[in-house]
């Protein structure tokens, strides 16, 4: 632009009408530059993680509203296992679209709701969505926008990754990239959630087509479990033909041992007040919910991640099959689900066998086939980042350790347990401590076991072993420092990496029917 050019901002609404800014000045030889929204649209669709979608009951009253941490704590801080089981029942919950809308864009509330922003957790994504919308639709400041900055320096997102090229950035401005969001009932199976994603993608694409826009593809941006939903849609439902590319963040690719620890001991504070602070509160929801259960380590995750340790001796599970050996193991003190905690409404424990049978059916019908069907499958144009930091310790493996006096342990002079996997529970705090009656040389022995703190690198929820699992199978999978799982998109390095990956994905449009023919 020469020094005597003037920009006259033009805003074009979704219906195609233009809104001009009036400029009055003396006649001169300046040039008016009008930025028009491209006629070729590639919707960027955000798919949230578990608990990242607002839910309502069938009377349309919100039951899970993640507008802010304090509202969640107020609603769930005093809820016991009984209320949680009733209110968070996958059969009686639906996506709620009336959540708080993030500020910071020029879009109307009506448009934001059409795009699905009210479906997802404002407390988790209320900063990222407006930033991404503005960064992808900044034609009026394109010369000094975020994409232009990523042509020069990429040290913030990931050291060593090549900056964007001028050609990649220039091409991205030839497409309209409106940001949408698709929530899902995270209590249901991710297969069902993938069906909802499919219908919403069809809805969004049809919306633009009816307005005479070319819209043949979408880009998916996922968080955590949303990556599993998106992969099922892409690779198992034929959705890949509608997808130009996918960016995954902190995806529990092969599951996470954290899911086991939360069922056995509750979720860490302060979030645990809302999600469930102990085994009773967590089991009441998890045992009836296919979605959360699909976050458990799959066969792909590996073996031996559950350890029962006594001094230098340990028993490592699973040996081969996590479903049969851990999740469907009934009555052992280390089993995933205490059958008596599955249904807190049954106070007299008259339906324990029936409740266990229902839980077992979920594992066999929804969890095992889902893990098997998704194993090793990714969209061909996928990017991903995961947390890789000692500062965010994560359960890559889970250790139940017998408490033994330091001197006795050092001298190896304590009574050895005959069978570490056996024993009768005398007391279970539900927060990671259990007193057992075991055997030593055939004689009764009182023991105490503690769930050891997380010790592996990760993001606090997904360990590196799972987050990095797509490495070598997709375009790029990189580890980031200082990534908190829930807040994976809240810090600038990860926000910039998302923008970088999306711009890279858009460049593939030149190989499709949405390409511009010179």
Q: Which is more confidently placed, 160 or 356?
A: 356
Q: Across residues 393-412, what is the average pLDDT?
A: 92
Gap between the Cα atoms of 178 and 45, Å rounded? 8
The whole-number pLDDT of residue 514 equals: 96
pLDDT at residue 162 in the model: 87
Contacts (Cβ under 8 Å, ≥6 apart) of 323 = 363, 364, 367, 368
Short-list 407, 508, 390, CA closest to 454: 390
pLDDT for 66 = 87
Average pLDDT over residues 136-141: 92
The answer on pLDDT for 283 being more than 80 is: yes
Q: Which band of pLDDT confidence, cut at 50, 70 and 90, is reported for residue 71?
A: low
Q: How confident is the model at residue 410 (pLDDT cuts 50, 70, 90)?
A: confident
The residue-averaged pLDDT of 136-143 equals 90
Query: Counting Cβ atoms within 10 Å, is residue 309 exposed (0-12), middle (13-18) or buried (19+)?
Result: middle
Whether 12 has a pLDDT exceeding 70, the answer reads no
The residue-averaged pLDDT of 245-274 equals 88
Could you tell me the pTM of the whole model? 0.91
What's the token pair of residue 312? 């230098």
Q: And the tokens for 245?
A: 């590319």
Mean pLDDT of 421-428: 97
What is the average per-residue pLDDT within 127-149? 93
In terms of Cβ atoms closer than 10 Å to its own Cβ (0-12, 13-18, 19+), residue 348 is: exposed
Contact of 396 with 460, CB cutoff 8 Å:
no
CA distances from 111 to 76, 118, 181 (A): 31, 11, 12
Burial (CB count <10 Å: 0-12, 13-18, 19+), residue 338: buried
Q: Name the average pLDDT for the chain.
A: 90
pLDDT at 1: 38
Element (H, E) at 207: helix 190-209
At 24, is the pLDDT very low, low, confident or very high (cuts 50, 70, 90)?
Answer: very low
Q: Which residues partner with 394 through β-bridges? A: 456
The three-state (H, E, C) secondary structure of 240-301, written as one string:
HHHEEEEEEECCCECECCHHHHHHHHCCCCCCHHHHCCCHHHHHHHHCCCHHHHCCCCCHHH
Read off the pLDDT of each residue in 368-387 and give the average, rounded to a whole number.
Answer: 98
Whether the per-residue pLDDT at 254 is higher than 80: the answer is: yes
Distances (CA, A) of 363 to 33, 198, 258, 327: 60, 24, 18, 8
Check if the beta carbon of residue 454 is closer than 8 Å to that of residue 394: yes
How far apart, in whole angstroms, are the C-alpha atoms of residue 252 and residue 24?
A: 57
- Rounded (5°) CA angle 94-100-103: 145
Structural domains present in the chain: 1-36 (no CATH), 44-254+376-393+457-511 (3.40.50.1820), 299-332+398-454 (no CATH)
Secondary structure (3-state) at 222: strand
Instruction: Determine the pLDDT at residue 45.
Output: 98
Alpha-carbon Rg for the chain in angstroms: 26
CA gap 8, 70 in Å, rounded: 44
Q: How far apart are CA 374 and CA 362, in angstroms?
A: 17
Can you say whether residue 331 is alpha, beta or left, with left for phi > 0 and alpha for psi between -120 and 50 degrees?
A: left
CB atoms within 10 A of CB 30: 15
How far apart are the C-alpha atoms of 481 and 388, rounded to whole Å? Answer: 6
Q: pLDDT at position 407, please?
A: 83
Share of the chain above pLDDT 90, in %: 81
Compute, in degrees rounded to 10, the torsion defined by CA atoms 309, 315, 321, 324: -80
Closest CA to 371 of 245, 249, 238, 256: 256
pLDDT at 22: 40
Q: How confident is the model at residue 143 (pLDDT cuts 50, 70, 90)?
A: confident
């Amino acid at each position: 632009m020469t020094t005597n050019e003037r920009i006259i901002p033009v805003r074009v609404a979704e219906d195609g009408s233009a809104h001009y800014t009036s400029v009055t000045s003396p006649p001169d030889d300046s040039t008016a530059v009008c930025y028009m929204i491209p006629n070729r649209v590639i919707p960027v669709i955000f798919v949230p993680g578990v608990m990242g979608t607002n839910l309502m009951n069938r009377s349309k009253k919100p039951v899970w509203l993640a507008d802010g941490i304090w509202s969640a704590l107020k609603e769930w801080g005093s809820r016991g296992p009984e209320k949680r089981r009733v209110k968070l029942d996958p059969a009686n919950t639906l996506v709620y679209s009336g959540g708080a809308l993030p500020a910071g864009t020029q879009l109307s509330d009506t448009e934001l709701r059409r795009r699905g922003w009210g479906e997802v957790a404002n407390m988790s994504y209320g900063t990222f969505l407006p930033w991404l919308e503005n960064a992808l639709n900044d034609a009026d400041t394109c010369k000094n926008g975020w994409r232009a900055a990523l042509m020069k320096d990429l040290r913030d997102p990931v050291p060593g990754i090549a900056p964007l090229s001028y050609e990649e950035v220039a091409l991205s401005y030839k497409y309209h990239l409106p940001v949408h969001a698709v929530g899902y009932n995270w209590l249901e199976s991710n297969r069902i959630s993938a069906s909802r994603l499919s219908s919403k993608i069809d809805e969004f694409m049809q919306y633009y087509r009816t307005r005479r826009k070319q819209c043949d593809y979408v880009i998916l941006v996922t968080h955590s479990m949303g990556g599993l939903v998106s992969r099922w849609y892409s690779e198992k439902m034929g959705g890949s033909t509608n997808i130009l590319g996918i960016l995954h963040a902190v995806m529990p690719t092969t599951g996470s041992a954290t899911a086991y620890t939360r069922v056995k001991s509750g979720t860490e504070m302060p979030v645990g007040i809302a999600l469930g602070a102990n085994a009773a509160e967590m089991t009441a929801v998890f045992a009836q919910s296919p979605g959360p259960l699909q976050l458990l380590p799959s066969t792909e995750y590996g073996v031996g991640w559950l350890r029962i340790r006594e001094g230098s001796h340990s028993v490592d599970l699973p040996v081969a099959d996590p479903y049969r050996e851990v999740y469907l193991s009934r009555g052992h003190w280390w089993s995933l689900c205490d059958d008596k905690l599955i249904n807190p409404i049954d106070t007299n424990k008259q339906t324990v066998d029936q409740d266990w049978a229902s839980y077992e059916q979920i594992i066999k019908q929804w969890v095992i086939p889902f893990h098997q069907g998704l194993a090793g499958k990714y969209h061909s144009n996928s990017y991903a980042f995961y947390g890789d930091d000692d500062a965010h310790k994560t359960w890559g493996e889970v250790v139940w350790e017998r408490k033994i006096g330091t001197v006795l342990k050092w001298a190896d002079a304590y009574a050895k347990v005959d069978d570490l996997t056996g024993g009768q529970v005398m007391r279970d705090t539900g927060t990671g401590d259990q007193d057992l009656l075991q055997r030593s040389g055939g004689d009764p022995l009182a023991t105490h076991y503690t769930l050891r703190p997380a010790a592996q690198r990760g993001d606090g929820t997904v360990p590196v072993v799972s987050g990095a699992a797509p490495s070598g199978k997709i375009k790029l999978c990189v580890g980031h420092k200082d990534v908190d799982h829930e807040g994976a998109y809240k810090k600038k390095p990860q926000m910039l990496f998302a923008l970088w990956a999306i711009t890279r994905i858009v460049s593939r449009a030149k190989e499709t029917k949405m390409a511009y023919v010179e």
